[in-house]
Amino acid sequence: MNTKNFCFYIKVRTALNILASVIHDELYSVHGDQAPSLRTVERWSTWFREGREEVEDEARPGRPVTTTVSENIEQVHLPIDDDPYITIEELQEQIDISYGIIQTIIFNHLKLTKMTARYIPKHPTDFQRAERVRICKQNLAKFEEGTWCLCDVVIGGES
C-alpha cells in the first residue's frame, strides 16, 4: 500500500470517529512494518478532523531539483567537448552552477572521469581503445626511430 492509500483509509476511519490508536492498530495488523507510525496516523487524523480534504502531500519549501536538467547537462558537456582540460572551477564561472552539481553532471550523467587533467570516458568504446593502441604504436615507432623521447610523456594511473 502506498502513502496515498494509507491516507484515504485514515481519512475514512477518522470520519467514522475512530481513534487514531485504533486506526494504527488496524493498519499495523494488516501491513506490519509497512504501516505508518502511530505519530503519523495521529497527525493525519488530526488534520482530517480539522477539515483537511486533500490526501496528497502539500508542496514543500526548498530548492527545486532542476539543476541536472538536460539544458544544464548540455551546458556542461559543450565546454568539455571544446576543451577537455577545463577545470570544474572554470566551468562554474562560465555556467553559474555549483561545483557539486557540475561534478555530479560530469561523473554521473556524462560518465566522464578526469585523467591527466583531461576528461575521458570511464568506459571507452572498442573504437576508443583501438585508437589509443594506434597512437601508442605510433609513439613507439617514433621512439625507436629516435625522433621522440619517452620523457616527453607523463602518464598517471588510478593510484
- Do 111 and 76 lie in one domain? The reply is yes
Mean pLDDT, rounded, for 37-56:
88
Q: What percent of the chain has pLDDT over 70?
A: 84
Q: Do the domain assignments include residue 59?
A: no
Residue 62 lies in a domain: no
Residue range 16-33: average pLDDT?
A: 92
Q: Which domain holds residue 41?
A: 3-49
Same domain, 77 and 105: yes
Q: What is the DSSP string of the chain?
A: --HHHHHHHHHHHHHTT--HHHHHHHHHHHHGGGSPPHHHHHHHHHHHHTT----SPPP--S--S-TTSHHHHHHHHHHHHH-TT--HHHHHHHH---HHHHHHIIIIIS-EEEETTEEEESS--HHHHHHHHHHHHHHHHHHHHTSS-GGG-------
- Is the pLDDT confidence value at 129 over 60? yes
114 and 131 together in one domain: no
Mean pLDDT of the chain, nearest integer? 83
Q: What is the count of structural domains for the chain? A: 3
- Could you tell me if 116 and 136 lie in one domain? no
Predicted local distance difference test score (pLDDT) of residue 121: 80
Instruction: Report, as an integer, the average pLDDT of 109-130.
Output: 83
Q: Is residue 58 part of a domain?
A: no
